[in-house]
Amino acid sequence: MKKIYILLGSLFFITACSTDLDQTPPNQAESDTLTSYGEVLNAAYYYQLGTVTPLAIMGEFRSDNALMDESPYTEFDEYDSGLTAMEDQFFGPFYTAAYKSILSANNIVENSEDATEVAEAKFLRALSYFKLVQVFGDVPVNLSATPSLTDTSILVRQPAADIYNDVIIPDFTDAITGLNNSLIFEGRATKLAAQALLGKVYVVMGDFPNAETYLSAVISEAPGAGISLKTNYNEIFGFVNEIANSEIIFSNNISGSITDEYDESSDFWNWYVGDDSKADLPVDQDLVAAFDASDASGGGTDLRRAVTLSADGFTAVKFPKEGENGTEHNWIEIRLADVILLYAETLNENGSSAGTVLPLLDDIRTRAGLNSLTGTVSSQADVRQVIADERRLEMAFEGQRWFDLVRTGTASAEMGVSINSDYYLFPIPVSEVLATNGVITQNSGY
């Protein structure tokens, strides 16, 4: 009789010594005794929390938005093999959490008879693999609820391009078909979120025609789902703004009462506000200069600065402590402004004129207290640059910056150093390489 692995409750942690890809919980149930897979689906959502803090660090501290004060954490700005020393704090928990979410999602896909549950599970599986590929490149692929513990072929890393085409895109496509937008403000997968993330996937792949199709659909369908830009930038972030926020398409709902892979709440914001000695003054002054430039060229004070940075410009306050509510900040996976900026970028790459593309940024810039960019530049290259500049300030400290630099091929130019492309990716956890006797290989350069 077939057995499936079931995650009993959202707080279960796997402690086996084998690789995280094929670890399995000790609690098992016969498949024919189950009538609901709701708990397994909740576990798939829950494990996303373990990806939050690592992504926040990788996306910002590897870039020109933030920096560390204390060795060895300063390795984030060194672009050499030194990052492997931080496996336990960042790459290990991230890798583990993503594969746990995938394993839970596989259980749903294989065994649930609820079509909506299956669609949600495919959304989470696609999201997990999208994160893994952006961080590590080629990774092992497991689409089984009961992966073999003896067949090591499943541990062999698969090409990122194949994972996009064979897993991520089909799963998001199925999620679009199987979901609606009724739970848009409940922290659950929705059709709109799947469309938005699939559009983003295509942007990362450099497939701008397909990206345009999905991003355009999100912008067209957003009002009907209750999604719109907030009038004021300061209404997007912070504990008091997270309930039914009209701009947020999908976020990981975080609670200080629920622990993650660190055995604590997902306190990504703690690194930004300077509460950790490893980053007492985390803001890179290059970001401050970028806000200065925005003020000078935009005809006013960029109102996003006061929401993003402390008055002295040394810490990031986008996700403020707010007393005891500091641990309640949700992690935004995708919001409407992100989609609009990606859509503008896509249209530009597809050859639309500056007069068509730049007005898309007007609402974002108006609420930032800045003038329209329409008529200021005309060439495709110049439009590309102003969109990138706008995206940096709009999305600062939302875990986007490094991945944007990598996908646009501008990491070396923006960081001001020549960066070997090996270090666009992060190191596979050394423990995974060792646990599999090298079947899981390390990224080049590490």
**Residue with the two structure tokens 């806000």:** 291
CB atoms within 10 A of CB 80: 12
Contact 357, 370 (CB under 8 A): no
Domain ranges of the chain: 7-424
What does each C-alpha distance from 433 to 21, 97, 138, 141, 440 come to in angstroms? 12, 17, 14, 15, 5
CA-only gyration radius of the chain, Å: 21
As given in the structure block, the two tokens for residue 107 are: 């259980």
Contact 227, 184 (CB under 8 A): yes
Q: pTM (2 decimals)?
A: 0.92
pLDDT by residue for the chain (446 residues), tens only, comes to 222 222 222 222 332 334 444 443 333 344 444 557 999 999 999 999 999 999 999 999 999 999 999 999 999 999 999 999 999 989 999 999 999 999 999 999 999 999 999 999 999 999 999 999 999 999 999 999 998 888 899 999 999 999 999 999 999 999 999 999 999 999 999 999 999 999 999 999 999 999 999 999 999 999 999 999 999 999 999 888 888 999 999 998 886 666 665 555 568 888 999 887 799 999 999 999 999 999 999 999 999 999 999 999 999 999 887 655 556 788 999 999 999 999 999 999 999 999 999 999 999 999 999 999 999 999 999 999 999 999 999 999 999 999 999 999 999 999 999 999 999 999 999 999 999 999 999 999 99
3-state DSSP assignment of residue 211? helix
268: left (phi over 0), alpha (psi -120 to 50) or beta: alpha
Alpha carbon distance 245, 247 (integer Å)? 6
Instruction: Specify the fold of 7-424.
Output: 1.25.40
